[in-house]
Structure 1
Amino acid sequence: MQNPEEIIQKISDYNCCVVVPTYNNDTTLERVIQGVLRYTKNIIVINDGSIDNTKNILLKYPEITQINLKNNVGKGNALRLGLKRAEELNFEYAISIDSDGQHYPDDIPLFIKEFDTSLNKKILFIGARNLNAKGMPRKNSFANKFSNFWYWAETGFTLQDTQSGFRMYPVKEINKIKFLSTKFEFEVEVIVKASWNGIEVRNIPIRVLYDSDERVSHYRPFMDFIRISAMNTWLFTVAIIYIKPRDFYRRFKQKGFKKFFYEDLIGSRDSNLKKALSIALGTFIGISPFWGFHSILAIMLAAIFKLNKVISFVFSNVSFPIFIPFIIYGSLKMGGSILGRTSLELNQIDENFKIGVYLVQYVVGSFVLAFLTAILFGTIGYITLHLFSSKNSK
């Protein structure tokens, strides 16, 4: 699809517009608009309270949709307004492009071509920049790797570039989602929440131009990094506490126990040893004294040690409420035996039991019990998995 006329027709067929948020980029804005006009007149420019020559430049283009804000609020707010206006104008998709000149409007066909060949139309494309390109600031490479890691931790998916502003959004699907941010951190929030809501997020390679003499960036290294870090902290917390358990429950409910057990636990491509180690890790965490953090730790450690996160999460729930008194009792008995302290009876573990008095004994016993139980469960798991594998191979 190299013919410009074909690209123009496809943009019209897919009911796509281009959203351009801008703030004090009068040296590059006109060039960006002119470049976009080669492919479509359906442009929405959000002037985010610019105090330079932006308004006069926009007067030259009465044919394009313009949103002029009195005060500067932030890029996230500008994008959100642009996407809402796109839906009001009945556009199905919107390509966002920065106005600082770093993106090439001639790369718009890359998005259309990729979208045209994609079977899934519920998709969000992010232009992946060459972070080793000439003139690319080193801090950008570090910030992008940092952001890529958090995106993976929050969604389980990997991307090459999570920070590029050159994107293609499914307008109606995105506008259904509630967002908190109004500044640069929106571009992190939107792709994470899109992924949570079943929207595929995919990279496509694009070019990038960094001209220090011409480009004006409004990214504040310290404050915006803090805001993005705070957003990632919040998103990660929500992912661990709600999203991952929700997805696990949905898979379990959809498949039923037997099918889930065979497909997600037994039928995964992980080796039997890896599955057994995942069982052991989850069991260890579930019995350890980290109450309230079992699920988080199980998933995080499984990711760090490259084990099966689903299996680890499942077995970290070994500490069901009905089993808690027995786990505490077993930990205290184990700790008492190791430290040479007086044994307790099970009936003493009631609502009046003061764990603080036996804290050291409990913690020591808890870790030992967790270790031994993890070995036991892991061994049983390995033998069981091996038997199932042998049976299915016949």
Structure 2
Amino acid sequence: MSASPASTTHLVLIPSYNPGPKVRETVTAARAAWAPVWVVVDGSTDGSANGLREMAAQDPGLRVMVLPENRGKGAAVLAGIEQAAREGFTHALTMDSDGQHPAELIPDFMRASQAAPRAMVLGVPVFGPEAPRIRVLGRKVSNGWANLETLGAGIGDSLYGFRVYPIAPLVRVMRGQRFMRRFDFDPEAAVRLAWAGVPAVNLPAPVRYFTAEEGGVSHFKYLRDNTLLTWMHTRLFLGFVLRLPVLLARRLFI
């Protein structure tokens, strides 16, 4: 458990859907690094909610929210940050529940956020040799589009979900449209926050891909999710064209 007092401004928010056996390890590591930690169970059907509730019953620094049905990562994050905003929190560090993200770097990312509270602190993945090559190459395409759509606003990586968001602008962006609720959440959040004038701070962070034998679980579906990303970037590019005069003015005069 985290030995430091619970923060009243920054929390760790972990959306979780059928995460596999790594979830307990992930949550334990997050709690060792920070308090409070909230887990939003996104309609899981694997029984993980019960185990997480048992953990929370023994740990005042851990809260578990359970959504009645699977709505998608973005929807789970929105449910968490809306509740966090009601309780006075200003920033949320999001991370996956499957063990891929480096919980030991939570304090470093939180300190970066506290030093630049207007900014989003984006993890830039450092891949190990086990990373699927198609995933590594595919994200370069998404990153290229994100930097075009923001006129080079400094998004180091558009897809990596280990990052700290300022809650108020993220809530405004998400309430303003009906997208960003599923796998498209992370890249669209970065682009739309950049459009809203939120600066980016980029920090390197390792990412680990586990095999099924190691307890790894992936909900990524190549055709479905790449189709979703293609539609998302089509929408964002049209939005970029409409915002181009504002983005150019911001680059030239700010």
Q: TM-score range by the shorter chain?
A: 0.7 to 0.9
Does the C-alpha gap of structure 1 residues 251 and 127 become closer, same or farther in structure 2, counting only changes over 3 Å? closer
**Among 99, 104, 107, the residue aligned to 1:106:** 104
Does residue 152 of structure 2 align to residue 136 of structure 1?
no
Aligned to 1:71: 69
Spell out the pairing of 1:254-269 with structure 2 (5 A cutoff): none
Aligned to 2:240: 239
Q: Matched residue pairs, number?
A: 242
Partner-residue secondary structure (3-state), 1:24: coil
Larger radius of gyration: 1
Does the C-alpha gap of structure 1 residues 21 and 251 become closer, same or farther in structure 2, counting only changes over 3 Å? closer
Aligned to 1:169: 165
Aligned to 2:80: 82
For the Cα contact (< 8 Å) 2:122–2:156, is it kept in 1? no
Partner-residue secondary structure (3-state), 1:233: helix
Q: Distance in 2 between matches of 1:26 and 1:69?
A: 18
1:207 CA displacement: 1.7
Spell out the pairing of 1:225-374 with structure 2 (5 A cutoff): 225-240=226-241, 242-248=242-248
Partner-residue secondary structure (3-state), 2:144: helix
TM-score, scaled relative to structure 2: 0.88
1:89 CA displacement: 1.6
Aligned to 1:24: 18
Partner-residue secondary structure (3-state), 2:209: coil
For the Cα contact (< 8 Å) 1:155–1:195, is it kept in 2? yes
Q: Distance in 2 between matches of 1:74 and 1:142?
A: 24
For the Cα contact (< 8 Å) 2:93–2:110, is it kept in 1? no
Post-superposition CA distance 1:7-41 (Å, at most 9, x none) = x45x726x101100001114011111111111333
Unaligned runs of 5+ in 2: none
Does residue 27 of structure 2 align to residue 33 of structure 1?
yes
For the Cα contact (< 8 Å) 2:123–2:161, is it kept in 1? yes
Does the C-alpha gap of structure 1 residues 100 and 247 become closer, same or farther in structure 2, counting only changes over 3 Å? same
1:110 CA displacement: 1.9
**Among 135, 147, 154, the residue aligned to 2:149:** 154
1:202 CA displacement: 2.6
TM-score, scaled relative to structure 1: 0.58
For the Cα contact (< 8 Å) 1:130–1:206, is it kept in 2? yes
1:65 CA displacement: 2.6
Q: Distance in 2 between matches of 1:204 and 1:79?
A: 21
**Among 34, 39, 47, the residue aligned to 2:41:** 47
Partner-residue secondary structure (3-state), 1:19: strand
For the Cα contact (< 8 Å) 1:26–1:57, is it kept in 2? no
Does the C-alpha gap of structure 1 residues 138 and 187 become closer, same or farther in structure 2, counting only changes over 3 Å? same
Partner-residue secondary structure (3-state), 1:101: coil
> 1:203 corresponds to which letter in structure 2?
N
Aligned to 2:182: 183
For the Cα contact (< 8 Å) 2:17–2:43, is it kept in 1? yes
**Among 122, 125, 130, the residue aligned to 2:121:** 125
Whose helix fraction is larger, Structure 1's or Structure 2's?
A: 1
Q: Distance in 1 between matches of 2:182 and 2:52?
A: 23
Does the C-alpha gap of structure 1 residues 251 and 57 become closer, same or farther in structure 2, counting only changes over 3 Å? closer
> 1:243 corresponds to which letter in structure 2?
R
Aligned to 1:287: none
> 2:52 corresponds to which letter in structure 1?
L
Identity of aligned residues (%): 27
Aligned to 2:225: 224
Does the C-alpha gap of structure 1 residues 55 and 247 become closer, same or farther in structure 2, counting only changes over 3 Å? closer
